[in-house]
A and B are shown apart, each in its own frame.
Chain A
């Protein structure tokens, strides 16, 4: 068992090494085989573990990673229900996206093709480390590892300097989050002396529960700092601006990293530390507020985007906000549930958009698309399913997970619930705006593109179909008790790790809430249908311009942080360094030089002057000796 588990991350690592080292020599077929094969291997192993249901609460220790004095951090993996669920999502969706990539990237040169798959495998490896790690440090290793892969893959087309800038921005923003994460780790060490999840959180001997009262400074500080880390990785206010820019990477990368897996790492971390968070209601409130605000803000921006991937990116930010709202309301399972369904339908939407971009020879602006539904039948059908799912139309998966989130928000705070409800309506609206502009109406591209438009090969459509099926049925693992006796399978599955959310809402209210959500979404879709059924140039309003420009958040950051820092830097470089410290040092040298040049005149060679000086000083000494001594 122990070795089998070790194999799960090891396989992608091997794939990374083989593809990375052999990128110039291996033919593309072999690279794809290795790249997809290792991920499939990991998936099968994890599926086996899942089916056997043999989870262990205690971590498997492989070797001492850091062992200094009292600080003992082993390299250990913990495979319980929570991590198994994530492993399955990562390897499963990951495998589909690998497969999709073999067709999407087939025009790349051989060595770049190899490089691409090496990066993807490295990403899977890091992501697995993140969710399998038995302590915070191993999690942090994966945490930074996925950040690195994200950096490498966003900047995959490194000839475009703008892409590499976006990559750098993503990395730096993530680093700001990591700053909080690391501080939290140090604080945890100080507080409880261990980083192991088991030692900290287990029900009987967990140090957190035993040693801490609610709302102490340490608990609130640690949880807030961990949340800073989560906000960086999962693109929450104020660290979300990297995610839309990250769309510079190849589309399958956006699907895998920036929609399905990496960005949900923050949710995983908070769910993993739920024992800690339950001790800090204050932090939970902040998380809920930030989650709701992010959801609304990103949804408003998505209304006015014209880049197909940018719409999906803001939609991702918005959905991540939902998940944080659920976490903040104490409904960890709802958040995880939404992570899962979101992984299905958002990966589906991204891959679908990739299929569209592929068909349109790289065109990403939806204003120049239109009328694609007849040409790209499978893509269209699956895209519709994705849109319905994200809009929360019953009985697709998004409906159940979104409903769980909204229920938790309702229980927690009515105002946040209303914000989430508005966001749900906006989501339905902008997704169907995207769908109608892209696939309906008349074709608005060039003649050349018109001839070129074709349905994607099977390697791309099969993942789409699989994900579409998952988007439809994925929600059934979390059908609420209100519908079926013995529903909420997911909650019971995760029970050993994540406590269930105990709500006190009657079934009739619950039905009502669901009805409200569904009706509002359908109304939004209808409005979108009326407005965008046939494409019309959108009128530019001042407010629309603000939205299209992302509320000018980037500009604000630029002038509030980046520019002052640079100003200070260049000031320090030219003035403080040169004429401050250095001038001081050189000044000492110059003073000595000057002084000695002046003193030189004393050494004149005139005996007379020497003697005169001698006499004067002697007289002075006499005066000192006899008259000035008190």
Chain B
């Protein structure tokens, strides 16, 4: 039942939020709901290990062969934890932002959360698709309703982009549905399918493109910097910290084990795309003058690494991906909090117009420097462990002949990330102050708390990552067993 509660809390909470008249009550209500979700998910992970509370299944749409079945396994747990940790942080850090029609805003935010949690726990293809769109639609309205100047064309592009891709996915899922012997949408039925190799090769792309757009993997990434730039920061946090994980999740849950032979066959192609994307996005990040675009490209690089590590099909790599999904979500939300702070204070995100903030706002500087160090994955920050495992997984992969080459090229990103991240710090914080940054004030308590929690998470899981790794260990073993048939086939 816990798993159902996890889904219903934000869903009902979001619907209720629409009817709250006053802005502050909507704000408080959503924060309370988010905290309640956090409590439930923590209970769901620590308290309910292996119990029946983690599964729920009920009939849904008659005889269609689909059931409302949801489950909380290792990967779902770590992602639901991320969802639950992020939302209070998002609400807390944007506490002082003023939105027109706050009730609608917070209602949509919570609905998006419900949709994403649904994606992470659904074990039925149709239900998965349903939640996939449920998560997308509120975000579309959030971007187009509360975004920047160019929000309408940009969000339209974002919507069409992702929607087209998800239609392809629907096509793929339906095809798989018709292949199952007793017409079922259940995940197990899909796993049990043994499609002929030639079929797998094209079904793979139907499914993969949807996820690749969401992640996004080069060259499907162009919606991202624009959308991040134009969305209100709270929504950008949701988009980059959380929604991106839907794509990664989708590949791990619905592509790798369902079409293992194709994943193995196309592994080289996907990994080259991902690896090129890592370097490409890093080089572009060095060129950005807009803070939001810089973080966006940096995120593309990090997610590209995850994509590459998935297709390496090694235990260390996948464990790294799962851990990094959590870490990347937390870290990038921290970065967006700082971006929001800077934008609100100085009314600009242009790096060239900033400078000297460190003299006026030491607290902010220290917190951002720690976040930046996590972004360049310095040891003893959480992302080092994830990236180390992923690089190690790629290097030691047996799924591709070019493992050393891929990891070497991907590893260039640690050099480039240092260049753009430290460049960013230098341009914002160091040097003399100018007319814009002269009257900087340090950060408010709510932001300090939010960033403090994030820094705590960064350091804790950087020094002692084992709890997160243990959480997903069993899941990865099962997954690799499912996908490993591919390794029997000679490439």
Contact = CB atoms under 8 A, between A and B. Distances in A.
Interface of A: 63-71, 111, 137, 140-141, 144-145, 148, 151, 155, 158-161, 164-165, 167-168, 171-172, 175-176, 178-179, 182-183, 185-187, 189-190, 565-566, 568-570, 572-573, 577, 581-582, 585-586, 589
B222 interface: yes
A168 to B, nearest CB: 5
Given A175-B418, A179-B415, A581-B222, A111 B362 contact: yes
B473 A581 contact: no
B422 interface: yes
A145 B355 CA distance: 26
B16 interface: no
B47 interface: no
A183 B160 contact: no
A573 B431 contact: no
Contacts of A65: 464-466
B315 A69 contact: yes
B280 A168 contact: no
A190 B396 contact: yes
Interface in B434-466: 464-466
A572 B407 contact: no
Contacts of B407: 183, 186
Interface string B406-440: 01100110110011001100100111100000000
B189 interface: no
B385 interface: yes
Contacts of A172: 415, 418-419, 422
Interface stretch (B166-174, B231-239, B373-381): B373-381
Contact of B395 (A69, A158, A171, A187): A187
Contacts of B418: 168, 171-172, 175
A70 B315 CA distance: 9
Chain A interface main SS type: helix
A161 B359 contact: no
A582 B391 CA distance: 30
B385 to A, nearest CB: 6
A578 B412 CA distance: 24
A69 B395 CA distance: 16
A573 B389 contact: no
10 A-B pairs closest in CB distance: A186-B395, A161-B431, A141-B379, A69-B315, A164-B430, A569-B287, A158-B430, A573-B287, A582-B222, A569-B283
Given A66-B388, A68-B389, A582-B222, A183 B286 contact: no
Contacts, number: 134
A137 B389 CA distance: 12
Contacts of B160: 589
B456 to A, nearest CB: 14
A421 B419 CA distance: 39
A569 B419 contact: no
B263 interface: no
B469 interface: yes
Contacts of B419: 168, 172
A249 B354 CA distance: 24
A179 B414 contact: yes
Most chain B Cβ neighbours within 10 Å, of A68, A175, A581, A586? A68
Given A66-B389, A172-B419, A140 B161 contact: no
A126 to B, nearest CB: 9
Given A158-B358, A581-B222, A566 B431 contact: no
B411 A68 contact: no
Interface residues of B, number: 54
Nearest to B431: A161
B373 A148 contact: yes
B222 A190 contact: no
A178 B385 CA distance: 15
B316 interface: yes
Contacts of A570: 287
Contact of A171 (B380, B396, B422): B422
A14 to B, nearest CB: 15
A144 B464 contact: no
B283 A568 contact: yes
B359 A159 contact: yes
A508 B222 CA distance: 74
A441 B110 CA distance: 78
B385 A66 contact: yes
B315 to A, nearest CB: 4
* Central interface residue in B358, B411, B415, by most chain A CB within 10 Å: B415
Contacts of B430: 155, 158-159, 161, 164
B473 A68 contact: yes
Given A161-B426, A168-B422, A178-B414, A186 B392 contact: yes
Nearest to B356: A159
B413 to A, nearest CB: 10
A151 B316 CA distance: 31
Nearest to A144: B379
24 contacts: A68-B389, A68-B469, A68-B473, A69-B315, A71-B316, A137-B388, A145-B380, A148-B373, A148-B378, A160-B431, A161-B426, A161-B432, A164-B426, A164-B430, A168-B423, A171-B422, A172-B419, A175-B418, A182-B411, A182-B414, A565-B283, A566-B287, A572-B287, A581-B222
Nearest to B359: A159
A585 B161 contact: yes
A186 B418 CA distance: 21
Contacts of B350: none
A145 B381 CA distance: 11
Nearest to A573: B287
Contacts of B422: 151, 167-168, 171-172
B219 interface: yes
B317 to A, nearest CB: 10
